[in-house]
A = this chain, B = another copy of it.
Amino acid sequence: MKIAVLAGDGIGPEVTSAALCVLDALNLPDIELAQGDVGGLAYHRHGHPLPPETLELARSSDAILFGAVGDPTCDNLARDLRPEQAILGLRSALGLFANLRPAAGWPGLESLSPLRPEIASGIDLLVVRELTGDVYFGDKGERIGENCERVGWDAMAYGEGEVRRIAHVAFRAAGSRRGKVTSVDKANVLETSRIWRETVIEVAREYPEIALDHIYVDNAAMQMVREPSQFDVVLTGNLFGDILSDQASACVGSIGLLASASLGERQTDYGTFGLYEPIHGSAPDIAGQGRANPCAAILSLAMLLRHSLGMEAEAGRIEQAVGQALAKGVRGMDLGGNADTETMTKAVLSELL
């Protein structure tokens, strides 16, 4: 089993190392790790945020453990050389169409949420975001309009095939959760959303045991604050998913604890090919200081073991160890605690053993 490790920029390397310590402690046989450069680091070393050798490495692996990209020294580069393009490029080149973003509080950590405790404690949802279509990857450009003004434009679109594929992921996920899918669109305005909604309804027929409802994106953003406990699986396109998944994370409050998976279609010998990353970014302000909370990276590793390597038991062990460390009151600095990266990692490791 080969894991490509793309630690990237800012706090990426620190939190990824912590996750690798946890992997090491599991003592799994036959795991090969291969490091690759990505993001601002890769730009500085190779002139591109996603060099061909990194892409090749990723493609030839069973799973990718990703840190973070984002580097203020690249802010003035042309868009296609900026660090974020690495993650967009990986998604598109590797067909990572299914982004899974669980958002749930940990017992005892409700006080980290900006929401009232009685509202925050009910959050237990999974955003299933389509990741390779929509206005992200359509044609785009600049044209000259009336009065010689510049006009920026982007084509938004979804085809039935793309929607069907991601809808199946959502319905299957709901089957092992609370059995409810909420599909988010803007079908009162967008043709893209009309096809989206019609296709989701069609796929739902294959899952009679799952409840489906549809909600407009503006209402979804409202309900996510008002009463997030109503959501189980939230199924969305790329753009609305970008917004709502970040909003859901903020509602939970503890961004340093939230992980994500981006799955492709390819089946490996052990599971589904995918990329795993903490949802926090590169946090350049605290990079290199050993202060970052490694939990989200460690939990991303757990998702990797579950989805790509078929190791549900090991994934569960890691998640339990993180939960126990938190239950004992160890808190990263982002959560108002004083555990640095090493202390937090050791706390998780000691629960694991």
Which of A155-163, A173-181, A205-213, A263-271 contacts the other chain?
A155-163
- Asked if residues A156 and B135 are in contact (CB atoms below 8 Å), the reply is yes
Assess whether B152 is in contact with A191, with CB atoms less than 8 Å apart. Answer: yes
Point out the residues of chain B lying under 8 angstroms from A351, CB to CB.
none
State the interface size on chain A (CB cutoff 8 A). Answer: 62
Q: Is the interface of A mostly helix, strand, loop or mixed?
A: helix
- Bound Cα distance A165, B83 (Å): 32
A226 at the interface (CB under 8 A from B): yes
Type the 1/0 row for A183-197, where 1 means its CB is closer than 8 Å to any CB of B: 000101111111110
A105-150: which have CB < 8 Å to B?
Answer: 114-116, 119, 135-136, 138, 140-142, 145-147, 149-150
Identical chains in the assembly: 2
User: A314 near B: Cβ within 8 Å?
Assistant: no
**Min CB gap A283→B, angstroms:** 13
Alpha-carbon distance A279/B258, docked complex (angstroms): 33
- Given known contacts A114-B226, A151-B195, A160-B150, is B242 in contact with A218 (CB within 8 Å)? yes
Q: Which B residues are in CB contact (< 8 Å) with A245?
A: 218
Q: Does A94 contact B (CB under 8 A)?
A: no
Q: In the complex where A114-B119, A192-B152 touch, is A246 in contact with B226 (Cβ < 8 A)?
A: no
User: CB-CB contacts of A218-258 with B at 8 A, as 1s and 0s?
Assistant: 11011111110000000000011011111101110100000
Question: Does chain B have a CB within 8 A of A88?
Answer: yes
Does the CB pair B194–A79 fall under 8 Å?
Answer: yes
Known contacts A114-B119, A155-B156: A221-B247 contact under CB 8 Å: yes
Cα A151 to Cα B141 in complex, Å, equals 21
Chain B residues positioned under 8 Å from A161 (CB to CB):
145-147, 149
Q: Does A84 contact B (CB under 8 A)?
A: yes
Contact of A158 among B151, B159, B253 (CB under 8 A): B151
- Are A156 and B153 interface neighbours, CB within 8 A? yes
- Which 8 pairs from chain A and chain B are nearest by CB? A152-B195, A153-B157, A222-B250, A221-B247, A151-B159, A152-B191, A225-B250, A218-B246
24 A-B pairs in the complex with CB atoms less than 8 angstroms apart: A79-B194, A114-B116, A114-B227, A115-B225, A135-B156, A140-B190, A140-B192, A142-B194, A145-B161, A149-B160, A151-B157, A152-B159, A153-B156, A153-B157, A155-B155, A217-B243, A218-B242, A218-B243, A219-B246, A221-B221, A221-B250, A225-B247, A225-B250, A240-B243
